[in-house]
Amino acid sequence: MKKLKNTSNNIVTIPPSGVRGKLTVVGAGPGDVELITVKGIKAIEAADVILYDALINEELLKYASANAELIFVGKRKGCYAFQQEQINELIVTKAKEKGHVVRLKGGDPFIFGRGAEEIDYVQQFGLETFVVPGISSSIAVPAYQGIPLTKRGSSESFWVITGTTKAHQLSDDVAIAAKSTATVVILMGMGKLDEIVRIFSAENKQDTPIAIIQEGTTENEKFGFGTISTITKVVEEKQLANPAIIVIGDVVKERVQLTSIYSEVARNS
């Protein structure tokens, strides 16, 4: 699969006459290739250019036209194929050159996905803009492990919080959430796990159940369960790392046993 390199900081060009560009921001879902909407697949099929992130399942690119240009613009911790400003400019350039750009993002593009930022930027250049919602990993990943984020008698609400803000700090909302009885779901938080443990411990929640699920909904999924007081050891033993979802709350012990989704697929194929 061709991954284009960034070769210029000045990538906004004068468009050819007669080309009216558009952007469709598409949520690719949490990882399982089948957890994408029909509308999302149709957008991929119709794209002239697809800019895709690191967390999408690349099997989805098989739905692209043979003539579509595929550009990897993914970001990992400490490793950027493109800076966000360059991605914004690249969307405009490709839309003006070729027509329909699909920005393919993991999960839902409006949940810590910068989808709204990209739409705001490109609308300045007259592009038509559309969004196709995706299934968020914050919901799907716990569900695949049988964890209900809400359950009568255990949790009446849930928080979804980023573990790393723009300033590379843990969100202040974690400390507020720790005071509540809600289920707390933290994305991109593995690098802040020790800090998260300290915050919940300060609220006398050492015995609160916690789950960490790495690469959820994929065949590479790994997970660990424990309490606030034991989870650091569990992570070490199971060698858990990003990308992972952290789920904290009594609903973790309400986990239901599910038939493996992978064995079910194999049985029906």
The catalytic residue positions are 53, 75, 188
Closest CA to 93 of 164, 13, 163, 173: 13
Q: How far apart are CA 63 and CA 86, in angstroms?
A: 26
Asked if residues 30 and 106 have their Cβ atoms less than 8 Å apart, the reply is: yes
Cβ contacts of 139 within 8 Å, gap of 6 or more: 149
Cβ contacts of 212 within 8 Å, gap of 6 or more: 190, 223, 224, 231, 234, 235, 240, 244, 245, 246, 247
Closest CA to 248 of 183, 177, 203: 183
